[in-house]
Amino acid sequence: MTVLSATRLQEIEDRYPELFRRSFKQRFGGLMIVIGVLLYCIYATWFFNLPKLVAEAHWERFGIYLTQWVSYDVQPEFRIKDGGIQVHYPRFSPLGNDPHPDWIANRPDGSIEVSVSGPSRQVEISGKQVILTAHGATVPIDIGGEVPRVEGATPSWVTVHEDNIVADMGFSGDVSISADRVKVRKRFLGWPNFIFDTQSPFFGKPAAEVVSLIVSGPRIKPEQSNLSLALDNIWHNNAWQHGDVWTKLFQTIVMAFLGTLLGALVAFPLAFVAARNITPNRLVNQLLKRFFDFLRSVDMLIWALFLTRAFGPGPLAGSGAIFLTETGTLGKLYAEGLENIDNKPREGVKSTGAPTTLVHRYGIMPQIVPVFVSQTLYQWESNVRGATIIGAVGAGGIGLKLWEAMRTNANWQNVAYMVLLILLVVFLFDAASNALRHRLMGTRTGR
């Protein structure tokens, strides 16, 4: 075991002062960051009153909306009048104008049995009584008086109100009972009538029969082939509005492309004037850079609000909002890229006596084009997402249609449809943009 003398220890300490004489920041910097983050979280919890927000939040709505994204319901109403029971459906029922579902059975004694989800969840309706079967229990409800009344104990899944009773049948649906009517909400997984709506001659037919009609069946309309009729029915589906949704989606893509392209075309020459090493006039540099800052500091959504007031709702306002924002963003990016170029190729071309345009063409452009195109492609990809948001304020595109579907608060299947389309488009544009950027920059994506 070697024992170091005091002199030797002092020499080692002098040689490596960063290890033996660490500053306060080096010793406690990490701890101070952790404490700062914790203090900020405590402050944010107090400032936003998070405990109250969590306690008062309507968490049940999340489950309801999520359920409605992937399912639909049918709501028959059984009206009890003069000892008989009449069945009514909403005007735009997914079952069509004259539905006769097999889960509603008429009994010989005049009562009706509704299977909400097989024999374990069903409703029996007669003129004087409703019998609910669910969650392993059977609950009879008297409807012979002015208000419905539960006979016996009331289970937790049955809620009694002043003039009606509501029974929660789980995911399968629910039942609302009053003295003269019973409304059943039966839930199904999937999207109803996604291909053909209830007005189509192909509605309700099995897939094999539809294919047979299209391929070799007699013409449904003499003036139009069955294939053309089927495609027309799908495109003009009244429930899902495929034609309008896809047209609006295409508008969104065009808005993003046009706004980004115009912004790049305007920002490109202005960036040469804003770059200090290209244009030595400092006043002009600063004025243009502050102009870029102004354009990009006003959010795209705010520009869209201004332009919709000026030009009215539509894709022109959306393209203009993207154009203004991208002029500022790309102008700043291009100018910074120009200021970071290697001046040696530029000086070499200039030493030959070439004019300014050729100096820029051969001394600057080869260095900046791949970077500029990469930045522009990234902004274009980002603007496809941004165009969806600004559409919600009237700037056209699928964003406006998405907002309209959400405002009804009863059309969440269509919301899910449009969200999935937007995700698909963003994914495809992201993949295409990445592939083009890697190709331009001379790199390869990992396999």
> Looking at residue 353, which CATH number applies to its domain?
1.10.3720.10
pLDDT in tens, 299-320: 898 999 899 888 888 888 889 9
Note down the domain range covering 89.
74-189
- Please give the Cα distance from 175 to 86 (Å, whole number): 16
Q: What angle do CA 381, 386, 387 make, to 5 degrees?
A: 95
- Residue 276: pLDDT over 70: yes
The reply to whether 173 and 268 lie within a common domain is: no
Q: What angle do CA 224, 229, 231 make, to 5 degrees?
A: 135
First to last CA, the chain: 53
Instruction: Using a pLDDT cut of 90, give the percent of the chain over it.
Output: 39
Which residues have CB under 8 Å from 394's CB, separation 6+? 304, 308, 313, 314, 317, 400
The reply to whether 376 and 301 lie within a common domain is: yes
The reply to whether 310 and 436 lie within a common domain is: yes
Q: What angle do CA 257, 262, 265 make, to 5 degrees?
A: 125
- Say if 431 falls within a structural domain: yes
- Say if 224 falls within a structural domain: no
**Domain termination site, one of 189, 204, 223:** 189
The reply to whether 184 and 250 lie within a common domain is: no
Task: Of 307-316, 321-330, 435-444, give the range with the top mean pLDDT.
Answer: 321-330
Q: What is the DSSP letter of 171?
A: G
- Say if 5 falls within a structural domain: no
The reply to whether 396 and 247 lie within a common domain is: yes
Mean pLDDT of the chain: 86
The single-letter code of the amino acid at 51 is P
- Say if 9 falls within a structural domain: no
**Domain termination site, one of 149, 168, 189:** 189
- Say if 27 falls within a structural domain: no
pLDDT computed for residue 447 by the predictor: 40
pLDDT in tens, 383-419: 888 888 888 887 888 888 888 888 877 788 999 999 9
**Domain termination site, one of 144, 174, 189:** 189
Q: Per-residue pLDDT averaged across 257-285, rounded?
A: 91
pLDDT in tens, 127-177: 889 999 999 899 999 988 888 999 988 999 999 998 899 999 988 899 999
Residue 165, helix vs strand vs coil: strand
The reply to whether 181 and 260 lie within a common domain is: no
> Are the beta carbons of 175 and 167 closer than 8 angstroms?
yes
Least confident of 4-18, 260-274, 353-367, 373-387: 4-18
- Say if 96 falls within a structural domain: yes
The reply to whether 168 and 287 lie within a common domain is: no
Which residues have CB under 8 Å from 142's CB, separation 6+? 128, 129, 148, 149, 150, 151
Count of domains observed in the chain? 2
- Residue 16: pLDDT over 80: no
The reply to whether 166 and 262 lie within a common domain is: no
The reply to whether 171 and 262 lie within a common domain is: no
- Say if 428 falls within a structural domain: yes
